[in-house]
Structure 1
């Protein structure tokens, strides 16, 4: 069975992010021999699209509330089943969902690689690349924060043996 890597990322929210994630990040992980657990594909679009296309209002809100539990549960189960996490840390601050996934994975003692290709400053001080608590959790089980995509494949083989 291949090693399963959960990809924690906000890139699914934008077209540019999806192009980069599916054209660059996921192929690197898969070409290194790992199976990617992609939270953007864990919940069927057959469930999501009808709700997304509903007109604004209380019915849509209530449908999203119910669907959010399914999406969150699917993602949590994938994190429980994975062997480790690759977390995308781009943005002015680390995406709150990605930070939550990092915290949950850390509690389960899963190794994590963080990738921040965004050159903007996002740290609490000069001693960290991103929020110091996020970086602490990533590094607490042998993980590392990288800033160059070329460093991902070699690090995968080190962190996820």
Structure 2
């Protein structure tokens, strides 16, 4: 079986219980059908977070988390960004911009019914421009995202 492309999974889904459930039980399993997901939520162990909170080392830990995410994006051919929310998550938007800037092909999933950006586009105009410029596109369903990543 040919190897699947490595794909960084940019999203704010790990910040809430509902988001984590969707991420772990719906989103990642669907993406695993066509890519090898690189999960930024798995790049830091909960023990590291607990230790940093205990010792007051959160600033250093968050800097390390950023470094790990940068290296993870550099090691991927694709990026899939979850773009739901009235306002796009700033970390996800930053990951898209960085990835597009270094030549990683980016795709976005926007299922939210609310307007998020300028009229006539799916999300913030600059985020969408980065995605399109990278050779990707913004899609409206998880099925479309899986097909686009497989494409």
- TM-score of the superposition, structure 1-length normalised? 0.88
Alignment of 1:103-142 (within 5 A): 103-125=97-119, 127-142=120-135
Cα displacement (A) at 1:51:
3.0
Counterpart in the other structure of 1:96: 90
> CA–CA distance in 1 between the matches of 2:128 and 2:80?
13
- Asked if the contact 2:107–2:131 (Cα under 8 Å) also holds between the matched residues in 1, the reply is yes
Aligned residues: 149
The 4+ residue runs of structure 1 with deviation greater than 2 A are 49-52
- Checking the alignment, whether the CA contact within 8 Å between 2:107 and 2:138 is kept in structure 1 is yes
Is the contact made by 2:108 and 2:139 (CA closer than 8 Å) also made in structure 1? yes
- TM-score norm. by structure 2 comes to 0.93
SS in 2 for 1:137: helix
| Match in the other structure for 1:154 | 147
Distance 1:131 1:2 in 2: 30
> What's the secondary structure of 2:29's corresponding residue?
helix
Secondary structure of the corresponding residue to residue 122 of structure 1? coil
Q: CA deviation at 1:2?
A: 3.2
Larger Rg: 1
Q: What SS class does the counterpart of residue 114 from structure 2 fall into?
A: coil
CA drift of 1:20 comes to 0.7
In the TM superposition, what are the counterparts of 1:5-154 in structure 2 within 5 Å?
5-32=7-34, 34-52=35-53, 54=54, 60=56, 63-125=57-119, 127-154=120-147
Write the distance in 1 (CA, Å) between the matches of 2:47 and 2:38.
19
